[in-house]
Amino acid sequence: MRLCTVRHEDGEDVGIATEAGLVLLSSLNKVTGGDFGPTLLDVVVDGRLDGLTAALRDPAVLDTAVPPGSAPPFAPIYRTPPKLWGVGLNYTRHADDLEVCQPAGTPGSYLRPSSCVIGHGDDILLPRQSDRVTAEAELGVVIGRDCKDVSPEDAPSVVFGFTTVLDMTAEDAIRVNPRYIPWAKGFDTFCSLGPWVVTPDEIPDLSSVRISTIVGGRTIASNQVSAMMRDPYWQVAHFSGGMTLEAGSVIATGTPGAGVIRDGDVVEAVVEGVGHLRNTARAVRR
Protein backbone atom coordinates (compact mmCIF):
# COMPACT_ATOMS: atom_id res chain seq x y z
CA MET A 1 0.00 0.00 0.00
CA ARG A 2 1.14 3.53 -0.77
CA LEU A 3 -0.16 6.28 1.50
CA CYS A 4 0.37 10.04 1.62
CA THR A 5 -1.02 13.19 3.18
CA VAL A 6 -2.50 15.84 0.91
CA ARG A 7 -3.56 19.44 1.41
CA HIS A 8 -7.04 20.77 0.69
CA GLU A 9 -9.01 23.89 1.51
CA ASP A 10 -10.23 22.49 4.83
CA GLY A 11 -6.85 21.20 6.01
CA GLU A 12 -5.25 17.84 5.26
CA ASP A 13 -6.42 14.35 4.32
CA VAL A 14 -4.85 10.94 3.84
CA GLY A 15 -4.50 9.67 0.28
CA ILE A 16 -4.17 6.03 -0.75
CA ALA A 17 -2.85 5.11 -4.19
CA THR A 18 -5.04 2.74 -6.19
CA GLU A 19 -5.25 1.77 -9.86
CA ALA A 20 -8.26 4.08 -10.12
CA GLY A 21 -6.35 7.05 -8.68
CA LEU A 22 -5.96 8.56 -5.23
CA VAL A 23 -8.65 7.55 -2.72
CA LEU A 24 -9.03 10.07 0.09
CA LEU A 25 -9.55 8.61 3.53
CA SER A 26 -12.40 11.00 4.29
CA SER A 27 -14.25 9.72 1.20
CA LEU A 28 -13.56 6.10 2.12
CA ASN A 29 -14.95 6.66 5.61
CA LYS A 30 -18.02 8.40 4.22
CA VAL A 31 -18.81 5.56 1.82
CA THR A 32 -18.13 2.71 4.24
CA GLY A 33 -19.07 4.31 7.55
CA GLY A 34 -15.51 3.65 8.70
CA ASP A 35 -13.50 5.53 11.29
CA PHE A 36 -9.99 5.26 9.90
CA GLY A 37 -7.63 8.14 10.56
CA PRO A 38 -8.17 11.00 10.28
CA THR A 39 -4.40 11.53 9.97
CA LEU A 40 -1.73 9.28 8.51
CA LEU A 41 -0.12 9.10 11.94
CA ASP A 42 -3.45 7.77 13.25
CA VAL A 43 -3.46 5.15 10.48
CA VAL A 44 0.05 4.05 11.46
CA VAL A 45 -0.75 3.91 15.17
CA ASP A 46 -4.09 2.11 14.70
CA GLY A 47 -2.46 -0.70 12.73
CA ARG A 48 -5.65 -1.63 10.88
CA LEU A 49 -4.20 -2.08 7.40
CA ASP A 50 -6.20 -5.27 6.81
CA GLY A 51 -9.45 -3.37 7.33
CA LEU A 52 -8.27 -0.56 5.11
CA THR A 53 -7.30 -3.03 2.39
CA ALA A 54 -10.74 -4.64 2.58
CA ALA A 55 -12.46 -1.26 2.32
CA LEU A 56 -10.47 -0.44 -0.81
CA ARG A 57 -12.01 -3.46 -2.57
CA ASP A 58 -15.42 -1.76 -2.44
CA PRO A 59 -16.26 -0.47 -5.95
CA ALA A 60 -18.12 2.44 -4.40
CA VAL A 61 -14.90 3.49 -2.64
CA LEU A 62 -12.89 3.22 -5.85
CA ASP A 63 -15.49 5.37 -7.60
CA THR A 64 -14.40 8.25 -5.33
CA ALA A 65 -10.78 8.09 -6.55
CA VAL A 66 -9.23 11.34 -7.73
CA PRO A 67 -7.45 10.95 -11.11
CA PRO A 68 -3.66 11.50 -10.93
CA GLY A 69 -3.79 14.81 -12.80
CA SER A 70 -6.36 16.22 -10.37
CA ALA A 71 -4.84 15.05 -7.10
CA PRO A 72 -4.33 17.75 -4.43
CA PRO A 73 -0.77 18.76 -3.47
CA PHE A 74 1.23 16.73 -1.01
CA ALA A 75 1.81 17.65 2.63
CA PRO A 76 4.35 16.08 5.02
CA ILE A 77 3.37 12.50 5.81
CA TYR A 78 2.67 13.90 9.28
CA ARG A 79 4.05 16.80 11.25
CA THR A 80 4.81 15.39 14.68
CA PRO A 81 6.70 12.08 14.62
CA PRO A 82 6.96 10.81 18.22
CA LYS A 83 10.70 10.34 17.65
CA LEU A 84 12.75 11.45 14.66
CA TRP A 85 16.10 9.68 14.68
CA GLY A 86 18.86 10.49 12.25
CA VAL A 87 21.85 8.33 11.39
CA GLY A 88 25.12 9.82 10.23
CA LEU A 89 28.20 8.44 8.46
CA ASN A 90 26.43 5.18 7.59
CA TYR A 91 28.05 5.28 4.13
CA THR A 92 31.76 5.74 3.53
CA ARG A 93 31.06 8.47 0.97
CA HIS A 94 29.28 10.64 3.53
CA ALA A 95 32.24 10.38 5.91
CA ASP A 96 34.41 11.54 3.01
CA ASP A 97 32.08 14.53 2.47
CA LEU A 98 32.83 15.67 6.00
CA GLU A 99 36.52 14.74 5.80
CA VAL A 100 36.22 12.46 8.81
CA CYS A 101 36.77 8.76 9.40
CA GLN A 102 33.73 6.52 9.39
CA PRO A 103 33.20 5.34 12.97
CA ALA A 104 33.89 1.71 13.78
CA GLY A 105 31.04 -0.49 14.95
CA THR A 106 28.08 1.88 14.90
CA PRO A 107 27.17 4.98 12.86
CA GLY A 108 26.62 8.39 14.40
CA SER A 109 23.11 9.35 15.51
CA TYR A 110 20.99 12.24 16.75
CA LEU A 111 17.43 13.13 17.69
CA ARG A 112 15.79 16.15 16.09
CA PRO A 113 12.65 18.17 16.89
CA SER A 114 9.40 17.80 14.95
CA SER A 115 9.45 21.56 14.34
CA CYS A 116 11.94 20.93 11.52
CA VAL A 117 9.46 18.81 9.49
CA ILE A 118 8.24 19.93 6.05
CA GLY A 119 6.85 18.07 3.04
CA HIS A 120 7.13 17.77 -0.71
CA GLY A 121 7.07 21.18 -2.40
CA ASP A 122 7.72 23.19 0.76
CA ASP A 123 10.63 25.62 0.90
CA ILE A 124 13.84 24.85 2.76
CA LEU A 125 14.74 28.03 4.63
CA LEU A 126 18.50 28.61 4.78
CA PRO A 127 19.10 30.18 8.20
CA ARG A 128 21.17 33.27 8.83
CA GLN A 129 23.21 31.27 11.34
CA SER A 130 24.89 29.13 8.66
CA ASP A 131 26.92 29.87 5.54
CA ARG A 132 27.10 26.24 4.41
CA VAL A 133 23.91 24.16 4.41
CA THR A 134 23.93 20.72 2.85
CA ALA A 135 21.09 18.41 1.83
CA GLU A 136 21.08 14.65 1.70
CA ALA A 137 18.66 11.95 0.57
CA GLU A 138 17.83 9.11 2.93
CA LEU A 139 15.57 6.11 3.29
CA GLY A 140 13.20 6.57 6.23
CA VAL A 141 11.83 3.70 8.33
CA VAL A 142 8.38 4.27 9.83
CA ILE A 143 7.76 2.32 13.04
CA GLY A 144 4.37 0.61 13.13
CA ARG A 145 3.88 -0.19 16.82
CA ASP A 146 5.37 0.73 20.16
CA CYS A 147 8.44 -1.43 20.70
CA LYS A 148 11.51 -1.83 22.88
CA ASP A 149 14.54 -4.13 22.82
CA VAL A 150 13.71 -5.52 19.39
CA SER A 151 16.22 -7.87 17.80
CA PRO A 152 17.37 -7.29 14.21
CA GLU A 153 15.63 -10.53 13.25
CA ASP A 154 12.31 -9.32 14.67
CA ALA A 155 12.65 -5.74 13.44
CA PRO A 156 10.60 -6.28 10.26
CA SER A 157 7.59 -7.11 12.44
CA VAL A 158 7.53 -3.59 13.94
CA VAL A 159 8.02 -1.67 10.68
CA PHE A 160 4.92 -0.06 9.18
CA GLY A 161 6.68 1.07 6.03
CA PHE A 162 9.29 3.23 4.36
CA THR A 163 9.41 6.84 3.29
CA THR A 164 11.78 9.30 1.64
CA VAL A 165 13.73 11.82 3.71
CA LEU A 166 15.53 14.97 2.65
CA ASP A 167 17.80 15.92 5.53
CA MET A 168 19.55 19.30 5.88
CA THR A 169 22.60 20.23 7.96
CA ALA A 170 24.31 23.47 8.90
CA GLU A 171 27.56 21.79 7.98
CA ASP A 172 29.85 24.65 8.94
CA ALA A 173 28.71 24.21 12.56
CA ILE A 174 29.65 20.54 12.84
CA ARG A 175 32.97 21.18 11.14
CA VAL A 176 33.73 23.46 14.08
CA ASN A 177 32.58 20.91 16.65
CA PRO A 178 30.78 17.56 16.08
CA ARG A 179 28.90 18.10 19.34
CA TYR A 180 26.87 20.77 17.55
CA ILE A 181 25.08 18.14 15.45
CA PRO A 182 21.66 18.43 17.17
CA TRP A 183 21.73 22.21 16.73
CA ALA A 184 23.01 21.95 13.14
CA LYS A 185 20.18 19.54 12.26
CA GLY A 186 17.36 21.21 14.17
CA PHE A 187 16.55 24.37 12.22
CA ASP A 188 12.99 24.85 10.99
CA THR A 189 12.41 23.18 7.57
CA PHE A 190 15.54 20.98 7.90
CA CYS A 191 13.75 17.63 7.51
CA SER A 192 11.42 16.91 4.60
CA LEU A 193 9.33 13.73 4.83
CA GLY A 194 7.31 12.03 2.12
CA PRO A 195 5.51 12.25 -0.10
CA TRP A 196 4.70 8.53 0.32
CA VAL A 197 4.79 5.91 3.02
CA VAL A 198 5.11 2.53 1.32
CA THR A 199 4.37 -0.72 3.17
CA PRO A 200 7.08 -3.42 3.15
CA ASP A 201 5.17 -5.75 0.81
CA GLU A 202 5.76 -3.17 -1.94
CA ILE A 203 9.56 -3.51 -1.54
CA PRO A 204 10.63 -7.04 -2.58
CA ASP A 205 14.35 -6.52 -1.87
CA LEU A 206 15.18 -3.73 0.58
CA SER A 207 18.93 -4.22 0.16
CA SER A 208 18.78 -3.32 -3.55
CA VAL A 209 16.86 -0.05 -3.05
CA ARG A 210 18.88 2.89 -4.39
CA ILE A 211 18.98 6.29 -2.70
CA SER A 212 20.05 9.40 -4.63
CA THR A 213 20.75 13.00 -3.64
CA ILE A 214 20.09 15.47 -6.48
CA VAL A 215 20.83 19.21 -6.41
CA GLY A 216 19.98 21.46 -9.36
CA GLY A 217 19.31 18.43 -11.55
CA ARG A 218 22.75 16.92 -10.88
CA THR A 219 23.09 13.65 -8.98
CA ILE A 220 25.47 14.38 -6.12
CA ALA A 221 25.54 10.86 -4.68
CA SER A 222 23.77 7.55 -5.20
CA ASN A 223 24.08 4.14 -3.57
CA GLN A 224 22.08 1.12 -2.45
CA VAL A 225 20.93 0.07 0.99
CA SER A 226 23.33 -2.87 0.71
CA ALA A 227 26.26 -0.41 0.94
CA MET A 228 25.22 0.86 4.38
CA MET A 229 27.52 0.13 7.30
CA ARG A 230 24.44 -0.85 9.32
CA ASP A 231 21.20 -1.86 7.60
CA PRO A 232 17.75 -0.44 8.50
CA TYR A 233 16.67 -3.44 10.58
CA TRP A 234 19.87 -3.30 12.63
CA GLN A 235 19.07 0.36 13.24
CA VAL A 236 15.55 -0.43 14.47
CA ALA A 237 17.08 -2.88 16.96
CA HIS A 238 19.76 -0.40 18.01
CA PHE A 239 17.41 2.53 18.63
CA SER A 240 14.86 0.35 20.45
CA GLY A 241 17.54 -0.95 22.81
CA GLY A 242 16.51 0.21 26.27
CA MET A 243 14.31 2.91 24.73
CA THR A 244 10.71 2.79 23.53
CA LEU A 245 10.18 3.56 19.87
CA GLU A 246 6.60 4.75 19.62
CA ALA A 247 4.45 3.93 16.61
CA GLY A 248 4.95 6.62 14.01
CA SER A 249 8.58 7.27 14.92
CA VAL A 250 10.83 7.73 11.90
CA ILE A 251 14.45 6.64 11.51
CA ALA A 252 16.40 8.38 8.73
CA THR A 253 18.92 5.65 7.94
CA GLY A 254 21.84 7.60 6.47
CA THR A 255 22.80 9.16 3.17
CA PRO A 256 25.09 8.07 0.36
CA GLY A 257 26.26 11.69 0.12
CA ALA A 258 25.32 15.33 0.67
CA GLY A 259 25.43 18.43 -1.52
CA VAL A 260 25.74 22.10 -0.65
CA ILE A 261 22.51 24.01 -1.33
CA ARG A 262 22.04 27.70 -2.02
CA ASP A 263 19.18 30.12 -2.56
CA GLY A 264 17.00 28.93 -5.44
CA ASP A 265 18.39 25.39 -5.67
CA VAL A 266 15.88 22.63 -6.35
CA VAL A 267 16.81 19.72 -4.11
CA GLU A 268 15.58 16.15 -4.63
CA ALA A 269 15.70 12.89 -2.74
CA VAL A 270 14.91 9.77 -4.74
CA VAL A 271 14.41 6.40 -3.07
CA GLU A 272 13.61 3.80 -5.70
CA GLY A 273 10.26 2.15 -5.18
CA VAL A 274 9.44 4.48 -2.29
CA GLY A 275 9.23 8.09 -3.42
CA HIS A 276 10.60 11.19 -5.11
CA LEU A 277 10.78 14.19 -2.80
CA ARG A 278 11.44 17.72 -4.07
CA ASN A 279 12.00 21.02 -2.24
CA THR A 280 13.44 24.43 -3.09
CA ALA A 281 16.03 26.23 -0.98
CA ARG A 282 15.29 29.85 -0.05
CA ALA A 283 17.62 32.18 1.81
CA VAL A 284 16.28 33.86 4.93
CA ARG A 285 16.82 37.61 4.64
CA ARG A 286 19.76 38.69 6.75
Digit-coded pLDDT (tens) for 119-164: 999 999 999 999 999 999 999 999 999 999 999 999 999 999 999 9
pLDDT value of residue 87: 94
Q: Looking at residue 216, what is its pLDDT?
A: 97
Q: Of the candidates 191, 194, 202, 185, which has an alpha carbon nearest to the alpha carbon of residue 164?
A: 194
Identify the pLDDT of residue 280. 98
Please tell me the predicted confidence (pLDDT) of residue 100. Answer: 62
Question: Mean pLDDT of residues grouped by 10 in the chain (286 residues)?
Answer: 93 96 97 96 96 96 92 95 93 61 75 96 96 97 98 98 97 83 93 98 97 98 95 96 98 96 98 98 86
- Residues 20-35 have pLDDT tens digits of 999 999 999 999 999 9
User: What's the confidence (pLDDT) of residue 112?
Assistant: 94
Looking at domain 84-283, which of 3.90.850.10, 3.40.800.10, 2.60.120.10, 3.30.70.980 is its CATH number?
Answer: 3.90.850.10
Q: Can you give the residue ranges of every domain in the chain?
A: 2-75, 84-283
* Helical ranges in 68-180 per DSSP H: 92-97, 171-176
Distance, in Å, from the CA atom of 271 to the CA atom of 269, rounded to the nearest integer, reads: 7
Question: Can you give the pLDDT at residue 247?
Answer: 98
Q: What is the pLDDT of residue 68?
A: 83
Where are any strands of DSSP class E within the chain?
2-8, 11-18, 21-24, 74-75, 84-88, 108-111, 117-118, 123-126, 133-143, 159-170, 191-198, 210-215, 218-224, 250-252, 258-261, 266-271, 275-283
At residue 93, the pLDDT reads 59
Sign of torsion, CA 274 82 116 170? negative
Per-residue confidence (pLDDT) for residue 9, from 0 to 100? 83
The per-residue pLDDT for 98 is 57
- Using CA atoms, how far residue 258 sits from 44, 45, 103, 105, 134, in Å, is 30, 32, 18, 22, 6
